[in-house]
Structure 1
Amino acid sequence: MGKIQVLDGETINKIAAGEVVERPSSVVKELVENAIDAGASAITVEIQDGGTTLIRITDNGSGMEKEDISMAFLRHSTSKIRTADDLLTIGSLGFRGEALSSIAAVSQVELLTKTPHAMTGCRYRIEGGIEKAMEDIGCPDGTTFIVRQLFYNTPARKKFLKSNMTEAGYINDLMIRLAMSHPEISFKFINNRQTKLNTSGNGKLKDILYHIYGRDVSSNLLPVDRRDMGVHVYGFIGKPLICRGNRSFENYFINGRYIKSPIITQAIEEAYKTFTMVHKFPFAALHFELDTKELDVNVHPTKMEVRISHGQELYQFICETLKNTLCGRELIPEVKPDIKPDIKPDIKPAVKQPILPAVKPAAASAASVPHPEEQPIKKTVVPKKTPEPFETRRIQAEKAIEKPVAKPILQKSAASVPEKKPEISYPEPVKKPVSKVKEYAQYELFETGLLTKEARPKHKLVGQVFDTYWIVEYDGKMFIIDQHAAHEKVLYEKLMKRFKENKPSVQMLQPPMILSLTMTESELLERHMKDFKAMGFEFESFGGKEYALRGIPSDLYGFTGKDMVTELLDTLAGASERMRTDFIADRIATMACKAAVKGNMRISTKEADALIEELLQAENPYTCPHGRPTIISMTKTELEKKFKRIV
Structure 2
Amino acid sequence: GAIVGREGKGCPQGTVVTVENLFYNVPARRKFLRRESTEAGHISQLVSRYALAYPELRFSLLSDGRLAFQSTGSGQLYDVLVKVYGLEAAQQMLAVESGSGEPRAEGVKTAIRVYGYVSSPSLHRSNRRYLTFFVNRRWVQDRSLSFAASEAYHTLLPTGRYPIVVLNVDLDPAEVDVNVHPTKREVRFRRGNEVFAAVQKAVRRVLTESSPLPTVTSHPHPVGPPAEGLSFWGQPRRLTGVGGERRPLGQLAMEVQRTAEDALATTVTPQPDSLLRPRLPMLRVLGQLGQTYIIAEGPGGMYLIDQHTAHERVLYERFAAERAHKAVASQQLLTPLPLELTPRQQAAMAEHLEALTELGFEIEPFGGETYLLRAVPAALERGPSTTLRRGSGQGDIGQAVIEILDELAEEDGGETREEKTLISVVCHSAVRAGRTLSMEEMRDLVRQLEETSLPHTCPHGRPTMIHLSAEQLAREFRRR
Scaled by the length of structure 1, the TM-score of the pair is: 0.31
- The structure number with the bigger radius of gyration is 1
Scaled by the length of structure 2, the TM-score of the pair is: 0.42
